[in-house]
């Protein structure tokens, strides 16, 4: 099968390499900045274009991988569905719940498959924790803490700093943990969130959301684009028989030097010290779905619910009140 990559930044490069590792052929790269498209296209011998809609419409393309900024996801997904293409879309699914629904409706109408890449469901560490919970190793869970932190991402044209586009750390980064929380513990009942955003003297975004799940579990989800450097994930799950912990640092004491302005990467991609990348695993499952040999563990509806939960957290942060889900 032949793939078009839409959006040729960090995630475009990552997903192109994962698709190629799965034996797919990258034949076209689209980005409004044609230079970025050319840089990604060259090693694959692919065509480069600054007209992503034309790339999507190319009859030679079988799969459209959407790796562009969040507000463009729904439009590209709808265009790909109307062109009869299979769709691989980066998270967040879209900027609004309504956009998610419109993209899902377009895929259903065209009878094409739409996959949203919530990669934490494929991280081996998180799958191991979920298996431990399912086996009852900590008994009945009551409290969960999920932390995800890194530098403030740059992004082409600084789009992450435009909260109307990115939704900030809550929608763009915490959504990983919000999705995993629902995947593991079921639907949420309500959320209360507090957030700190500032642009001067340097950009900082910190968000702390407390979800009450319908199961009774209380979950604290913390996301930050305020770390001095690097990237860190931490998980703590407490049950009536024990506790599960995961810390990506795995060192008792560590020091971070604050990264100077301009030194940060455009987007931080969390690594996993395993033989096969979780990003490749999600591509493999997507392809198995296309071949009708396996159902994916994440659906477009799941991705829509993650957006709804993240936006509810943002609403709570803005109003200072809990939001019912």
Residues 6+ apart with CB under 8 A from 117: 15, 88, 89, 90, 91, 279, 282
Say which CATH number the domain at 258 has. Answer: 3.30.360.10
- What pLDDT shows up at residue 157? 83
125-147 tens-digit pLDDT: 999 999 999 999 999 999 999 99
Give me the helices (H) in the chain, please: 10-21, 34-41, 52-57, 73-82, 97-110, 124-134, 163-166, 168-172, 175-185, 278-290, 300-319
Same domain, 229 and 211: yes
In tens, the pLDDT along 267-318 reads: 656 655 667 899 999 999 999 999 999 999 999 999 999 999 999 999 999 9
Domain boundary among 64, 90, 117: 117
In a domain, residue 34? The reply is yes
* Residue that is last in its domain, among 58, 85, 117: 117
Helix (H, G, I), strand (E, B) or coil at 149: strand
Tell me what pLDDT residue 253 has: 40
* 42-46-51-55 Cα dihedral, nearest 10 degrees: -160
Residues 111 and 169 in one domain: no
Separate counts of helices (H) and strands (E) for the chain: 11, 13
Residues 44 and 126 in one domain: no
Q: Verify that 145 and 74 share a domain, yes or no.
A: no
Residue 64: give its domain's CATH number.
3.40.50.720
How far the first Cα of the chain sits from its last, in Å, is 40
The CA distances from residue 29 to 52, 72, 102, 107, 200, in Å, are: 8, 16, 25, 22, 36
Q: In this predicted model, what pLDDT tens digit does every residue of 210-238 receive, in sequence order?
A: 999 999 999 999 999 988 778 899 999 99
193 part of a folded domain:
yes
Tokens (6 digits) for 92 = 């967040």
Residues 84 and 184 in one domain: no
**What average pLDDT score do residues 149-177 get?**
92
* Residue 299 resides in a domain: no
Kindly state whether residues 136 and 173 are assigned to the same domain: yes
pLDDT 10s digits, 82-108: 999 999 999 999 999 999 999 999 999
Co-location of 127 and 242 in the same domain: yes
Residues 76 and 130 in one domain: no
Query: Which residues 6+ apart lie within 8 Å of 109 measured at CB?
Result: 81
Total-model pTM: 0.92
As a whole number of angstroms, the distance between CA 273 and CA 294 comes to 26
Distance CA 146, CA 220 (A): 6
Are both 162 and 228 inside the same structural domain? yes
Q: Is the pLDDT of residue 179 over 60?
A: yes
Q: What is the pLDDT, as a whole number, of residue 266?
A: 57
Over residues 9-30, mean pLDDT: 98
Query: Are residues 45 and 154 both part of a single domain?
Result: no
Asked, for residue 287, whether it belongs to a domain, the answer is no
Do residues 26 and 44 touch, judged by C-beta distance below 8 A?
yes
Domain end residue (candidates: 86, 117, 148): 117
Is 60 within a domain?
A: yes
pLDDT for position 229: 79
Q: Are residues 13 and 66 in the same domain?
A: yes
Range scoring the smallest mean pLDDT among 60-64, 161-165, 187-191, 211-215: 161-165
Confidence of residue 254 (pLDDT cuts 50, 70, 90): very low
* Count of the separate structural domains present in the chain: 2
Domain ranges, residue 12 = 2-117
Per DSSP bridges, beta strands 188-198 and 204-213 are antiparallel
Is 290 inside any structural domain?
no
Q: Are residues 113 and 125 in the same domain?
A: no
Cβ contact 130:227 at 8 Å: no
CB 90 within 8 A of CB 5: no
Look over the chain and give the mean of its residue pLDDT values, rounded to a whole number: 93
Residue 201 has a pLDDT of 82
State the Cα–Cα distance between residues 114 and 299, nearest whole angstrom.
8
């Amino acid at each position: 099968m032949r793939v078009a990559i839409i959006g040729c930044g960090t995630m475009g490069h990552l997903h192109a390499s994962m698709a190629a590792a799965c034996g797919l052929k990258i034949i076209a790269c689209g980005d409004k900045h044609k230079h970025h498209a050319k840089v990604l296209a060259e090693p694959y011998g692919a065509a480069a274009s600054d007209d992503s809609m034309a790339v999507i419409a190319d009859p030679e393309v079988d799969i459209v991988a959407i790796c562009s900024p969040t507000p463009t996801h729904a439009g590209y997904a709808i265009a790909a569905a109307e062109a009869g293409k299979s769709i691989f879309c980066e998270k967040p699914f879209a900027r609004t719940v309504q956009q998610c629904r419109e993209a899902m409706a377009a895929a259903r109408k065209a009878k094409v498959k739409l996959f949203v890449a919530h990669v934490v469901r494929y991280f081996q560490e998180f799958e191991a924790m979920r298996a431990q919970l399912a086996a009852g190793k900590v008994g009945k869970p009551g409290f969960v803490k999920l932390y995800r932190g890194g530098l403030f991402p740059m992004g082409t044209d600084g789009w992450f700093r435009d909260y109307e586009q990115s939704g900030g750390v809550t929608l763009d980064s915490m959504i990983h943990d919000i999705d995993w929380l629902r995947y593991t513990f079921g639907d949420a009942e309500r959320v209360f969130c507090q957030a700190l955003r500032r642009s001067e003297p340097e950009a900082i975004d910190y968000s702390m959301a407390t979800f009450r799940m319908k199961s009774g579990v209380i979950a604290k989800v913390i996301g930050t684009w305020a770390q001095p450097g690097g990237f860190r994930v931490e998980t703590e799950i407490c049950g009536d028989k024990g506790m599960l912990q995961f810390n990506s640092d795995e060192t008792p004491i560590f020091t971070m030097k604050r990264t100077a302005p301009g030194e940060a990467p455009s987007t931080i991609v969390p690594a996993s010290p395993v033989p096969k990348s979780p990003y490749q695993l999600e591509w493999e499952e997507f392809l198995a779905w296309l071949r009708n040999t396996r159902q994916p563990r994440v659906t477009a509806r799941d991705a829509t619910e993650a957006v709804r939960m993240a936006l509810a957290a943002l609403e709570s942060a803005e109003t200072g009140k809990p939001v019912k889900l």
